Structure 1
Amino acid sequence: MFNLFQAIPSISTAELAEKLKEKPMILDVRTPSEYQSGHIPGAKNHPLDKINSYRQKNAETVYVICQSGMRSKQAARALKKQGYEVVNVAGGMNRWTNSTRKGKYA
C-alpha cells in the first residue's frame, strides 16, 4: 500500500556533484530570480509554488534542490504524491561548492 508519510530519500550536494556526469534530472524549486543568480548547470527551474503543474514524460529520478533544503523537501513530497521517484538534495545551494551558471537557462 502506498504510504504518503514515507521518508523522502536525500543525498548530499557532494553526492549530487558526482552524479553530474550522468546528466541527472535536477529540479531547482527556488524562485526565478534565485535560480538566475546561480544554479547547477543542467538544472531546470520549476518554483515550489508551481510544483503541482510539473510534468515529466520519462520515469527517471528527479533530484530536487532549493536554497537550504526546506522547499525542496516540500516539493519532493508533492512530486512523490504524483508518483515521481524523487531525491531531496540536503543543504541545497547553500552547500553546493561546485560551479554554477547564471541566467535563465541551464
Structure 2
Amino acid sequence: MVDPIPTITPDDVYRHRTEGWTLLDVRTDEEWSQGRIDGSVHIPMDQVVARLDEIPERVVCICAVGGRSERVAQYLAQQGHEAVNLVGGVQRWAAEGKPVVA
C-alpha cells in the first residue's frame, strides 16, 4: 500500500517557500512557456527520473491541475524526498488570483 501524498493549497505555498521548499513544475515545455509560478524550477515529468540528482530534498510538486504532480510527488517520496502536491495546480493558483509569470 502506498501512503497518500500530502497536498497543499495555493495559500500554503508561501509558507512552504519561506521554510526552504522548492517549487517543482513538472509540466511540459509548452505549458511552462505559457505561464508559471514565479521562482519555480522546471523539470518536465518525463525527465524527473533522469534528473533526480537536480531535485532538492523538499519539494512542492506542481502541474496544470494536480494529477501529474501527484504522481511525481509519489515517486520522489519513494526516493526519500519530502514531497507535497499543489492541489489544483497552476490553474487553481491563477484562478485564486495569484501571480503567474511568462
- Tell me, which stretches of 5 or more residues in structure 2 are unaligned? none
- Tell me, which stretches of 5 or more residues in structure 1 are unaligned? none
- Structure 1 length normalisation: TM-score? 0.81
Supply the distance in 2 between the matched residues of 1:88 and 1:62 (Cα, whole angstroms): 9
Supply the distance in 2 between the matched residues of 1:64 and 1:98 (Cα, whole angstroms): 17
How far 1:18 moved relative to its partner? 4.5
Task: Supply the RMSD in Å over aligned alpha carbons.
Answer: 1.9
Q: Could you tell me which of 40, 46, 49 is aligned with 1:49?
A: 46
Could you say which residue in structure 1 is the equivalent of 2:5? 8
- Residue 98 of structure 2 corresponds to residue 101 of structure 1: no
- Decide whether the 8 Å contact of 1:30 with 1:67 is kept in 2: yes
- Structure 2 length normalisation: TM-score? 0.84
- Residue 77 of structure 2 corresponds to residue 83 of structure 1: no
